[in-house]
């Protein structure tokens, strides 16, 4: 937590000061206390797979509310922080840190933290909640299954038995390095966008393959290093939105989570006020609410100032001194007609993304169509297993954030299902909710769960809690992490009334 001395001077930096005070108050009011010792921790016991921000945050919530956890992480102790340990030192948040408050006790010093600040925040959280002794490193989870009582086993029974499972393996695994024709004859350097540290780029020509957030980040790197020329070679168009907290928040408030008849309004405004003379870069084949937009204001300026050029086209092959691209006009799809151009380069950056970590350690039944990921209850609970939540790793695209309050909300919904059998959804109702969401989004050009906005996510949570009267007593706990005492007492009374039925049901892991 920020000490008072870390607050900015309120006269010199009034907005930052207000932000810091708000964070301080939120932390005081909403952070569960770390457990003083293991004796305070009880069942349900949760297995958490992955020690990135999602795994560490959900673990901190569990132990903060008195439930024991074990985190299984395939990497070494240096992996705490997940993908942020593997990116460039210059990487940072594109979105404002208001949208990256993954735990209420995390307090940012400013708007756009960089890699080192993000890693510090995750690792401090990990230590603050005493998770060091609860994390097993060099442990790759390969299979998970339930015993006869419905308790989860991770790889084999010697690793313990768990009442619940949180998969937090993320969406960015190993860097993707597609092999392209002629790479072997290229005389320059080829690096992935996550390996830019230490690259000498001053005065060099740089070609960046890819048109996603990493490509934009590589462009920033190139500008900072003073390259002679930078070319972005992008085979598909993506929306770029300004790095502005009000614009980004407004867009995330589209509760329908899809294209609507009004989507032309923000698209028109972006074209006219943000893209302006660079309007040809805005996608013509894709609405704003169909894919994760890139958040960056500088890229437009760099293109205007001639520091970089943006080339729409497919890579034909590498040459000794660059890359040949089939340059396409706006609207011509990937692989369509164009004209071949040689883009000279000394360095080629593969900003081609990351492979997706596998969820195949989960039981086979969770992958049965049409209820395969991301088509799960609230996108993270497979309908066969309400004791499993795959937080942030079924994510496809969104206008929102991976690192925000929802990690806590998902974790507490799982805890509610585990602690209170009367709140636990039956597979039948989970499937009906998925079907309902598909019907509500049937006019969406994307799959119902392939794109969402942050307000839509909040609507899912509200619906989940409001739908079942037994969940009402948990509302404060689910949304804010406070007030667990009362519902926990009521559950005890319910168990007594049900003559132990609740216990039996939980122990067998059967969904009600």
Ligand X SMILES: Cc1cc2nc3c(=O)[nH]c(=O)nc-3n(C[C@H](O)[C@H](O)[C@H](O)COP(=O)(O)OP(=O)(O)OC[C@H]3O[C@@H](n4cnc5c(N)ncnc54)[C@H](O)[C@@H]3O)c2cc1C
Ligand Y SMILES: NC(=O)c1ccc[n+]([C@@H]2O[C@H](COP(=O)([O-])OP(=O)(O)OC[C@H]3O[C@@H](n4cnc5c(N)ncnc54)[C@H](OP(=O)(O)O)[C@@H]3O)[C@@H](O)[C@H]2O)c1
Contact residues toward ligand X (CB under 6 A) are 49-55, 72-75, 79, 82-84, 87, 91, 93-95, 140-141, 168-172, 357, 361, 392, 401-403
Nearer to ligand X, 252 or 511 (CB): 252
| Residue 403: contacted member of ligand X, ligand Y, none (CB under 5 to 8 Å, by partner type) | ligand X
| Residues recorded for the chain | 512
Measured from the CB atom, the residue of 170 and 408 that comes closer to ligand X is: 170
| SS3 per residue for 376-420 | CECCCECCCCCCEEECCCCCCCEECCCCCCHHHHHHHHHHHHHHC
> Which residue's CB is nearer to ligand X, number 60 or number 141?
141
> Hey, which residues between 437 and 476 contact ligand Y (CB under 6 A)?
none
By the 10 Å C-beta count (0-12 exposed, 13-18 middle, 19+ buried), 219 is classed as buried
Catalogue the long-range contacts made by 464-472 (C-beta closer than 8 Å, 24 or more residues apart).
464/378, 464/413, 464/433, 468/422, 468/423, 468/425, 470/420, 470/422, 470/423, 471/416, 471/423
Per-residue binding letters, 398-437, with ligand Y (x by CB under 6 A) = ----------------------------------------
Tokens linked to 35: 């457990």
Min. distance of Cβ 89 from ligand X in angstroms? 11
Told to check if 123 binds ligand Y by CB under 6 A, we report: no
> What does 210 bind: ligand Y, ligand X, none (CB cut-off 5 to 8 Å by kind)?
ligand Y
Helix (H, G, I), strand (E, B) or coil at 254: coil
What CA–CA distance (Å, rounded) separates 336 from 237? 14
Of 168 and 458, nearer to ligand X (C-beta) is 168
Of 254 and 296, the one with the shorter C-beta distance to ligand X is 296
Query: Under a CB-based contact definition with an 8 Å cutoff, are residues 163 and 43 in contact?
Result: yes
Of ligand X, ligand Y, none, which one does residue 212 interact with (CB within 5 to 8 Å by kind)? ligand Y
Candidate list 110, 111, 212, 242; residue touching ligand Y; CB under 6 A? 212
3-state secondary structure 419-454: HCHHHCCCHHHHHHHHHHHHHHCCCCCCCCCCCEEH
Outline where 240-377 has alpha helix (H): 245-252, 264-269, 298-304
Beta carbon of residue 152, minimum distance to ligand Y (angstroms, whole number): 28
Say whether residue 206 binds ligand Y (CB under 6 A).
Answer: no
Identify what 343 binds: ligand X, ligand Y, none; CB under 5 to 8 Å per kind: none
CA 158/CA 251 separation, integer angstroms: 48
| 392 contact, one of ligand X, ligand Y, none, CB 5-8 Å limit per kind | ligand X
Least distance (Å) between residue 74 CB and ligand X: 4
Tell me the C-alpha distance between 201 and 214, whole Å. 17
How many other C-beta atoms lie within 10 A of the C-beta of residue 247? 18
Answer for which of 75, 81, 353, 373 binds ligand Y (CB under 6 A) is: 353
Q: Least distance to ligand X from the beta carbon of 323, Å?
A: 23
Considering the complex, state which of residue 105 and residue 234 has its C-beta at the smaller distance from ligand Y: 234
Contact 325, 314 (CB under 8 A): yes
**Cα separation of 239 and 217, whole Å?**
15
| Cα 448 from Cα 316, distance rounded (Å) | 35
Radius of gyration, CA atoms only, the chain: 24
Number of residue whose CB is nearest ligand Y: 212
Q: Which residue number, 170 or 421, has a Cβ lying nearer to ligand X?
A: 170
> Under the criterion CB under 6 A, does residue 357 sit at the interface with ligand Y?
no
Q: By CB under 6 A, is residue 88 in contact with ligand Y?
A: no
Q: Is 321 in the site for ligand Y (CB under 6 A)?
A: no
Residue 354 interacts with ligand Y (CB under 6 A)?
yes
Q: Does 243 bind ligand Y (CB under 6 A)?
A: no
209 binds, among ligand X, ligand Y, none (CB under 5 to 8 A by kind): ligand Y
* Cis-peptide into 44, omega within 30 deg: yes
Q: How far is CA 38 from the centre of its chain?
A: 30
In angstroms, what is the minimal distance from the CB of 140 to ligand Y? 22
Interface with ligand Y (CB under 6 A): 93-94, 172, 178, 193, 209-215, 217, 234-236, 292, 315, 351-354
């Amino acid at each position: 937590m920020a000490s008072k001395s870390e607050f900015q001077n309120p006269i010199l930096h009034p907005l930052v000061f207000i932000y810091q005070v708000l964070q301080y108050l939120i932390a005081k009011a909403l952070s569960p206390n770390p457990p003083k010792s293991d004796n305070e921790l009880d069942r349900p016991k949760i297995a958490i797979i992955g020690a990135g921000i999602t795994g560490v945050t959900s673990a901190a919530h569990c132990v903060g509310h008195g439930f024991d956890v074990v985190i299984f992480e395939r990497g070494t102790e240096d992996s705490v922080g997940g993908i942020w340990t593997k990116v460039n030192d210059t990487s940072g948040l594109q979105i404002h840190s208001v949208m990256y408050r993954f735990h209420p006790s995390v307090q940012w010093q400013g708007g756009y933290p960089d890699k080192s600040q993000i890693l510090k925040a995750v690792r401090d959280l990990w230590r603050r909640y005493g998770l060091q002794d609860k994390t097993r490193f060099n442990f790759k989870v390969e299979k998970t299954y339930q015993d006869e009582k419905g308790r989860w086993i991770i790889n084999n029974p010697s690793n313990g038995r768990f009442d619940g499972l949180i998969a937090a393996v993320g969406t960015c695994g190993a860097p993707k390095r597609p092999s392209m024709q002629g790479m072997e004859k290229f005389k320059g350097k080829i690096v992935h966008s996550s390996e830019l540290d230490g690259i000498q780029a001053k005065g060099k020509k740089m070609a960046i393959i890819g048109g996603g957030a990493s490509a934009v980040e590589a462009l920033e790197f190139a500008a900072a290093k003073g390259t002679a020329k930078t070319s972005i070679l992008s085979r598909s168009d993506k929306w770029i939105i300004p790095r502005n907290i009000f614009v980004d928040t407004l867009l995330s408030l589209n509760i329908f989570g899809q294209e609507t008849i009004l989507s032309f309004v923000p698209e028109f405004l972006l074209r006219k006020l943000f893209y302006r003379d660079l309007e040809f870069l805005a996608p013509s084949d894709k609405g704003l609410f169909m894919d994760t937009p890139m958040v960056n204001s500088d890229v437009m300026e760099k293109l205007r100032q001639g520091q970089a050029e943006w080339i729409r086209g497919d890579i034909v092959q590498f040459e000794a001194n660059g890359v040949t691209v089939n340059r396409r006009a706006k609207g011509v799809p990937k692989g369509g007609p164009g004209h071949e151009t040689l883009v000279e380069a000394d360095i080629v950056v593969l900003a081609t993304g990351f492979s997706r970590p596998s969820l195949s350690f989960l039981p086979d039944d969770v992958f049965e169509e049409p209820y395969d990921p991301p088509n799960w209850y609230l996108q993270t609970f497979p309908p066969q297993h309400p004791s499993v939540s795959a937080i942030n790793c079924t994510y496809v695209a969104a206008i929102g954030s991976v690192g925000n309050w929802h990690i806590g909300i998902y974790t507490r919904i799982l805890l509610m299902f585990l602690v209170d059998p009367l709140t636990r959804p039956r597979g039948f109702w989970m499937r009906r909710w998925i079907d309902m969401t598909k019907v509500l989004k049937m006019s969406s050009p994307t799959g119902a769960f392939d794109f969402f906005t942050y307000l839509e996510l909040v609507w899912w949570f509200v619906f989940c809690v409001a739908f079942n009267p037994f969940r009402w007593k948990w509302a404060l706990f689910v949304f804010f992490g406070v007030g667990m005492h009362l519902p926990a007492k009521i559950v005890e009374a319910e168990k007594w009334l049900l003559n132990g039925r609740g216990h039996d049901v939980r122990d067998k892991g059967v969904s009600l």
